[in-house]
Amino acid sequence: MRRLRFALAYWVVALGFFVPSVAYAYIDPATTTYIVQIITALVVMLGVSLSIFLYKFNMVSAKAKYGLYGLVYRLRNKRATEGGRPCDDADTGLGDDDARRYVPPDYVMLGTGRPPTTAEMDALGEPDGIDKVTKNANREKPWEKGFLGRLKSTMPLSLAISLSFILIGSMVAVIQNPGSIQFGLAKAMPVLVFATIVCFAALAVVLAVFRGRAYMFVVSVAAAILIAGYLQALFLNGGLGELTGDEIEWGMYSVSIVANSLFWLGVFVAVFLMMRFTKSAHRAFLVFVPFLIVFVQCVGLVSAMYERVDSGDSISAYWQESNERLTFKGIYEVAYERNTIVILLDRFDQSFVYTVLDDDPKFFEPLDGFTMFEDNISHSAKTFPSVTEKFTGHMFRWDQSDSDYFADAWAGRNFMHELVEQGVDVRLYTFFGFVYDDIEQVRGFASNIGEVDEVINDRIALVKLLKLSGFLHSPMLAKQVFWLSSDEFDHAIVFTGETMPYLVNDFAFYDSLVEQGLSVTDESRAIFSYIHLNGPHPPLVMDENVEHVGRSSYLQQTKGSMKIVYEYLDQLRALGLYESSTIIVMADHGIPEDEDLTLPVLSALFVKPAGSYGTPLAINMAQVSHSQFPGMILESLLGDSMGYAPGFFATQEGEDIVREYTHKRYRYEIRGDGRDFGNWHGLGEYSGQWEDSKAG
């Protein structure tokens, strides 16, 4: 057993130096930790198997050697006796029969200092019998021990469950999703460590309380949950896609749910059978399997950290307590002369406009002076990369990582540099991780950059992280219980004022807007404000009165989103700045279909130029796109598009324009009226190798 432990320790140390080299391979970050964990597990299993094989081989060799020696000397003693030459046993003190039985040198009975007699050898049998008698006879089985003995035996399993489902799983989630989980590991680590320790202690005690068959049963259940949950998170969640807030149609996964349930049942049956028929392996199983799972997960954790750093992120992106971000600073301020205000409602599809009009034809009447462009197309189907493309004009071609794309897109000159050079105050209130992933990318034109120090609600943060871990590790049948949206993690961040990082929270934005209202700055500079709200994007939890409800609809949430817009416009009117302001209410993209497109995807767009006031909402059928956004902003503040594509009003109705749209990796060219899907022509796939990793 000592040899086995030594071999196990050797392979652990060896793998500690071997595995990290695997992580240097140029692999998609979404799968690197899986591959590394698989390789690690295989190498550990092969190493331990080889060690056990060598140990068993030595045992078999020893038995064969002793057997051969015994046979040779029995024959020799027999011939000596038949020839009248008895053995000299004067020095042994044993009888003739005992002396004639050869025993190899140094093979003695424990506690006697002499070789065994014939009777003792017959009782013991082969050499491995000695091992069984001297070592196993006094070894008490775990389920027969007292409480402290059972507690000691359950500790490795309890620790592995606690680490896998609480600490390691949550750490990997935060590292791999810095855009969705806005707080860093440094903030969540204390509560995660505390929860892990409490779970470990409580689980070990609860398991140790049981005795006999009940002990075997509960330990088997815990081991099966650990193994099945780990394999579920590692291999079996691929078909669910990303947690974007959209409700999952579980009815589509009926076959997967049945197959997944059978897999879990198979794991439970295998563990129970092993516990039932190979009880001698019980102790080794409860130590080795938990150790193996925790070890390969730790390797995966290190790999995930390396992948984030290798893709361009600094360690502070997922660890540091304080960091510079775009903040709430100045979000409720407007200039007393010139303002261009963009309120973006995420996933505000044009079809939602028609749905609202069908329900209430007069709903959009407060948009006096506005023009609605019915045929507006964004370039991409999701927030990433749609917003960055709109700001920079740099299109995502699927041939690079997200971080590389951000670095390239923001490295060049964009229209906001022109604004700053002309004295305009640029304020961007938008997503970290979906629009930019390094504050240096927006430094130089965004004035609301600030040092932030997030304050999180430990209880909410822990609940959300445990919920995500439950979703990842639970069987398909139980995932509905743990379903959550990425924006739920924002609820864990305590609103501390304008110095906190900007978070897309429509309820908080509306409440503060109503409570404190808009104010006019003392500065004479014009202001360009870009305010990114959740809008009608799922999860659908807002009603038409901007109240949080358990379940809403696209109709209700669209109306609630527009109520926020109407409140903002009313306050501009109260300040006397409505007429002089350019106001744009728009979407970053429409509804992205899961499969191939079957319908046109149009993004809502309402524009009120400065000076337009007191006229009903106008309808414009011009074929416009987000490529005209920079020119529109420059025209509103500088009076010229400065070489960019002219703004939306420059396109005439009836003028056929060629536009592009990207759905997943598929390119479409729209020739003519975008409302007619017959004008959408597929151009094939982009040839890049990187997969989409951002929610929309």
Task: Provide Rg for the chain, Cα atoms.
Answer: 35
Taking only the tens place, the pLDDT of each residue in 518-545 is 999 988 899 999 999 999 998 899 999 9
For residues 203 and 456, the answer to whether their CB atoms sit within 8 Å is no
Taking only the tens place, the pLDDT of each residue in 375-387 is 999 999 999 999 9
Question: How high is the pLDDT of residue 432?
Answer: 83
Backbone angles phi, psi at 436, to 5 degrees: -150, 155
Strand pairing category for 666-671 and 658-663: antiparallel
Strand pairing category for 425-429 and 527-533: parallel
Higher per-residue pLDDT: 346 or 289: 346
Taking only the tens place, the pLDDT of each residue in 246-299 is 667 777 788 889 999 999 999 999 888 877 776 666 666 778 888 888 888 887
**Of 626, 579, 126, 148, nearest in space to 381 by CA:** 626
SS3 265: helix
**Of 47, 472, 44, nearest in space to 294 by CA:** 44
Average pLDDT of the residues in 166-185 = 76
| Cα end-to-end span (Å), the chain | 55
Strand pairing category for 425-429 and 333-334: unpaired
Higher per-residue pLDDT: 291 or 31: 291
Examine the pLDDT at 36 and tell me if it is beyond 80. Answer: no
Taking only the tens place, the pLDDT of each residue in 478-528 is 888 888 776 777 777 777 777 788 888 899 999 999 999 999 998 889 999
Spacing of C-alpha 403 from chain mean position: 17
Lowest mean pLDDT across 231-240, 289-298, 360-369: 231-240
Q: Place 115 in a pLDDT band, splitting at 50, 70 and 90.
A: low
Compute the distance between CA of residue 521 and CA of residue 54 in angstroms, rounded to an integer. Answer: 80
**Residue 449 parent element (H or E):** strand 449-453
Compute the distance between CA of residue 180 and CA of residue 178 in angstroms, rounded to an integer. Answer: 6
Query: How crowded is residue 241: how many other Cβ atoms within 10 Å of its Cβ?
Result: 12
Non-local CB neighbours of 244 within 8 Å, separated by 6+ positions: 485, 486, 538, 695, 696
Q: Which residues of 85-96 are buried (b: 16+ CB within 10 A; e: fewer)?
A: eebeeeeeebee
Compute the distance between CA of residue 349 and CA of residue 591 in angstroms, rounded to an integer. Answer: 6
Examine the pLDDT at 316 and tell me if it is beyond 60. Answer: no
Question: How high is the pLDDT of residue 624?
Answer: 98
Compute the distance between CA of residue 431 and CA of residue 572 in angstroms, rounded to an integer. Answer: 25
Higher per-residue pLDDT: 281 or 421: 421
Taking only the tens place, the pLDDT of each residue in 597-638 is 889 999 999 999 999 999 999 999 999 999 999 999 999 999
SS3 246: coil
Q: Place 92 in a pLDDT band, splitting at 50, 70 and 90.
A: very low
Q: Place 117 in a pLDDT band, splitting at 50, 70 and 90.
A: low
Compute the distance between CA of residue 554 and CA of residue 557 in angstroms, rounded to an integer. Answer: 5
